[in-house]
């Protein structure tokens, strides 16, 4: 066997999951892992955009540049942590925790928008609703992935 064949075989045997709980097959936890990684990617990508364009974006949505930058940086950090957590063996616990957090986030956004606690412009309200809608969609996939493992 040539060095390239061994290298390709090694690459094909690699996986991001080092071990799974007993009785869980890769096909059972794949939906949850993909949903968690999609959530992580969306949060980190949006956070990076918001942090990079904090000043003009802050003016557009009605927040200060500092608040926009802090929100973007927090999303980047959360996305990185979630992406790392998506490879853990106890993925069901991670999925339940993220799902609960997403539900709490959605409720908090609804309260903030209804109460007018933040001085958001119409563009800011639309952005919050769009991000929340994406969060709800990913939460649904996470819910289905958690149920598949039950």
pLDDT band with cut points at 50, 70 and 90 for residue 150:
confident
- pLDDT tens per residue across span 59-81: 999 999 999 999 999 999 999 99
pLDDT value of residue 2:
67
Q: Cα separation of 140 and 120, whole Å? A: 27
pLDDT for residue 19 is more than 60: no
Sorted by sequence, the CB contacts under 8 Å of residue 127 that are 6+ apart come out as 61
- pLDDT tens per residue across span 46-62: 999 999 999 999 999 99
Q: Tokens standing for 36?
A: 């968690």
- pLDDT tens per residue across span 91-142: 999 999 999 999 999 999 999 999 999 999 999 999 999 999 999 999 999 9
pLDDT value of residue 28:
87
Contact between residue 110 and residue 133 where contact means Cβ atoms under 8 Å apart = no
* H helical segments located in the chain: 3-13, 26-52, 54-61, 65-85, 91-115, 122-149
pTM for this entry = 0.81
- pLDDT tens per residue across span 31-48: 999 999 999 999 999 999
């Amino acid at each position: 066997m040539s060095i390239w064949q061994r290298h390709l075989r090694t690459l094909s045997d690699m996986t991001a999951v080092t071990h799974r709980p007993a009785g869980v097959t890769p096909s059972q936890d794949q939906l949850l892992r993909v949903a968690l990684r999609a959530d992580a990617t969306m949060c980190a990508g949006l956070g990076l955009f918001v942090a990079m364009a904090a000043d003009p974006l802050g003016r557009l949505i009605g927040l200060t540049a500092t608040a926009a930058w802090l929100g973007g940086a927090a999303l980047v950090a959360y996305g990185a942590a979630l992406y790392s957590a998506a490879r853990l063996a106890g993925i069901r616990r991670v999925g339940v925790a993220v799902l609960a957090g997403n539900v709490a986030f959605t409720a908090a956004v609804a309260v903030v928008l209804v109460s007018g606690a933040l001085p958001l412009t119409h563009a800011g309200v639309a952005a919050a609703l769009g991000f929340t809608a994406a969060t709800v969609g990913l939460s649904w996939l996470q819910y289905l992935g958690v149920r598949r493992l039950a």
